[in-house]
Amino acid sequence: MNITVQRLHHIQLCIPTGQEETARSFYTDILGFKEIPKPESLLKNGGLWYSVGNIELHIGTEAMGAEKSKRHPAFEVEHLKLVKKFLKSHQINVKKEIPIPGIIRFSFLDPFGNRIEFMEILKIKH
Q: Which helix (H) or strand (E) holds 89?
A: helix 80-89
pLDDT for the residue numbered 37: 97
CA 42 to chain centroid, in Å, comes to 11
Identity at 57, one-letter amino acid code: L
Identity at 118, one-letter amino acid code: F
pLDDT for the residue numbered 126: 61
Cα 80 to Cα 20: distance, rounded to the nearest angstrom: 32
Contact 5, 73 (CB under 8 A): no
pLDDT for the residue numbered 105: 96
pLDDT for the residue numbered 1: 84
Please, what is the Cα angle at 61 between 33 and 48, to 5 degrees? 25
pLDDT digits (tens, 9 = 90+) for 26-41: 899 988 899 999 999 9
pLDDT for the residue numbered 125: 67
pLDDT for the residue numbered 124: 75
Task: Give every residue of the chain whose pLDDT is below 50, as ranges.
Answer: none
Q: Please, which residues bridge with residue 104 across strands? A: 120
Instruction: Tell me the whole-structure pTM to 2 decimals.
Output: 0.76
Q: Which CATH superfamily is domain 5-121 in?
A: 2,3-Dihydroxybiphenyl 1,2-Dioxygenase, domain 1 (3.10.180.10)
